[in-house]
Structure 1
Amino acid sequence: MGHYIKVEKGVTLFVEDLGKGDPVVFIHGWPLNNEMFEYQKNQLINKNYRYIGIDLRGFGKSDHPFNGYTYDRMADDIRVVITKLKLKKITLAGFSMGGAIVIRYMARHQGYKVKKLLLISSAAPQFTKQPDFPYGFTKEEVTKLIKNIYQNRPKTLNEFGERFFLDPIDDQFRMWFNDLCLSASSHGTAFSAKALRDENVQNDLSKIKVPTAIFHGLQDDIVPYQRVFQLKDGIKNSDITGFEQSGHGVFFEELEKFNDELFSFLKD
């Protein structure tokens, strides 16, 4: 079942809502949509969980407004969805940019209705290199990425996707993956990349009070594994699960292990 939920005047989000039981709310990464979690969704439903997948504004089947691509606004959108669906005892999961957004949600909305937090390949506390953290993309590289989006978005996203997985993926999967990326609006893709470049959730980490799992690929070329130690240091009740044979796409590259660890975390 799909819901179309109005989060502010002129902006409606698409939310996939399937199964019954404790809800697991998934927030996708850049520049994807909730369909990236296809290989978790079916397993969750079969194990009596409720899958809630939100397409962020600008992405997937949600509206594509020209404004609102800050972490604050996207966190507020999540709050509206949770309130309107009357969700409680949520496990909130965020992938990559979605990981940074759910961290902002936890701080900005005091963890409203969330009992557990899952950070997957999270682009946090900040996506870009810092003076005390020489790993990952520079701000200049992200600025160039944004420029390239405006000039040739399909080529740019395909090249980004080539860094997403540790090993080459088959042509059929790549076609599916690229289609997810291209279903986003061009402006939403560019503006949210600016948020990735500029925003920082470091000060939000200490406000997270729920058990938190950190899933991350040891071979991640987009958000280097070294980021997990910043998250672990900042979030008191957190644990790291590393995926030795994965790059950024842990949800697919080590699918069986990922799903096993997911259900272990949900049951604890």
Structure 2
Amino acid sequence: MPFLKHKEGKEPVRIFFQDYGKGKPVILIHGWPLSHQAWEGQIRTLVEEGFRVIAYDRRGFGRSSQPWGDYDYSALAQDLSQLILHLDLKDVTLVGFSMGGGEVVRYFTDYGADRVAKAALIASIIPLVAQKKDNPDGVPQKDLDGILATLKTNRIGFLKDFHKNFYNYDENTDKLSQANLDYDFSIASHASPIATIKAAEAWAGTDFRPELKNVTVPTLIVHGDADNIVPYKTSAEQAAKGIADNTYELIKGAPHGLNLTHRDRLNELLVGFLKK
């Protein structure tokens, strides 16, 4: 199995990745609390459309190693940078789903755009999850604190029901089944407990608004207007205002997990953007 091993941070890590196809490279960065397997509905399509697709597991998740610390976004972006250097990728497109949007933006902040041709933010947390006086549509801090408290006391119980809201399950039973929820629960429950908590602290507490100007490549922004996890007004709508060269697509009725429920539409948008 392919692993990237590096010692650039405080602790050595092994990052598991899959590398399929030939053509222009595309890196898929998964959301919280899943793994690269969340991209199953996109990988095959992108490879068949002529792209080289690299999907990896964030540290602490999937088959990657589970260090105790270093889950801030600069540490996570460092793993992404090391993967790009390891594979000597050029003209790569970075695609971040949900939490993964943070790695995309922080990569530009810490490493620039020399090796990057395009970017995509899919149901992304960018630029800010938390509600603030100048971000009134964000998630109230008491709700974020409640999530973190529950992860520390009843992680498994929280994860058991999390993906119902992730997919707006009751409204989308024609698009996914209980088996999909069980699959996600299996992936999420086997992630590192400390990584699950610390990664949540990162996506809940990082304000990327000052960093949007660093995204200097053409960027696709896709979000669902029925996203109950990351409301589009605090994320995609603001990202579209802060990233100079962007294409913004709001999918009607799509939940947070639109990569599954609205797979065909998302794939159409991705392929069109990548081939433009």
TM-score (normalised: structure 2): 0.93
Matched, 1:33 2:35: yes
Q: Distance in 1 between matches of 2:255 and 2:114?
A: 31
1:68-83 matches, within 5 Å, as 68-83=70-85
CA RMSD of aligned residues (A): 1.3
Match of 1:223 among 230, 236, 245: 230
Q: Distance in 2 between matches of 1:178 and 1:136?
A: 26
Specify the code of the residue in structure 1 equivalent to 2:46. L
Q: Distance in 2 between matches of 1:138 and 1:192?
A: 18
Give the aligned partner of residue 5 of structure 1: 4
Deviation at 1:112, TM superposition (A): 3.7
Specify the code of the residue in structure 1 equivalent to 2:122. I
Range 146-155 or range 74-83, more displaced: 146-155
Matched, 1:193 2:200: yes
Give the aligned partner of residue 254 of structure 1: 262
Give the aligned partner of residue 173 of structure 2: none
Give the aligned partner of residue 25 of structure 2: 23
Deviation at 1:154, TM superposition (A): 1.8
Give the aligned partner of residue 241 of structure 1: 249
Specify the code of the residue in structure 1 equivalent to 2:218. P
Match of 2:46 among 37, 44, 52: 44
Residue deviations 1:97-154 (CA, integer Å, cap 9, x gap): 1012211111211024110000001101111111122224222222221221122212
Identity %: 33
1:38-187 matches, within 5 Å, as 38-168=40-170, 169-187=176-194
8 A Cα contact 1:245 1:254, kept in partner = no
Q: Distance in 2 between matches of 1:228 and 1:107?
A: 19
Deviation at 1:159, TM superposition (A): 2.5
Range 159-168 or range 249-258, more displaced: 159-168
1:163 match: secondary structure: helix
Range 151-160 or range 110-119, more displaced: 151-160
Residue deviations 1:73-113 (CA, integer Å, cap 9, x gap): 10011000100111111110001110122111112110241
Range 150-159 or range 57-66, more displaced: 150-159
Residue deviations 1:38-77 (CA, integer Å, cap 9, x gap): 0111111212211101111111000000011000110011
2:15 match: secondary structure: strand
Match of 1:213 among 206, 217, 220: 220
8 A Cα contact 2:128 2:138, kept in partner = no
8 A Cα contact 2:80 2:103, kept in partner = no
1:51 match: secondary structure: strand
Specify the code of the residue in structure 1 equivalent to 2:177. D
Q: Distance in 2 between matches of 1:126 and 1:158?
A: 26
Q: Distance in 1 between matches of 2:56 and 2:141?
A: 28
Q: How many residues get paired?
A: 267
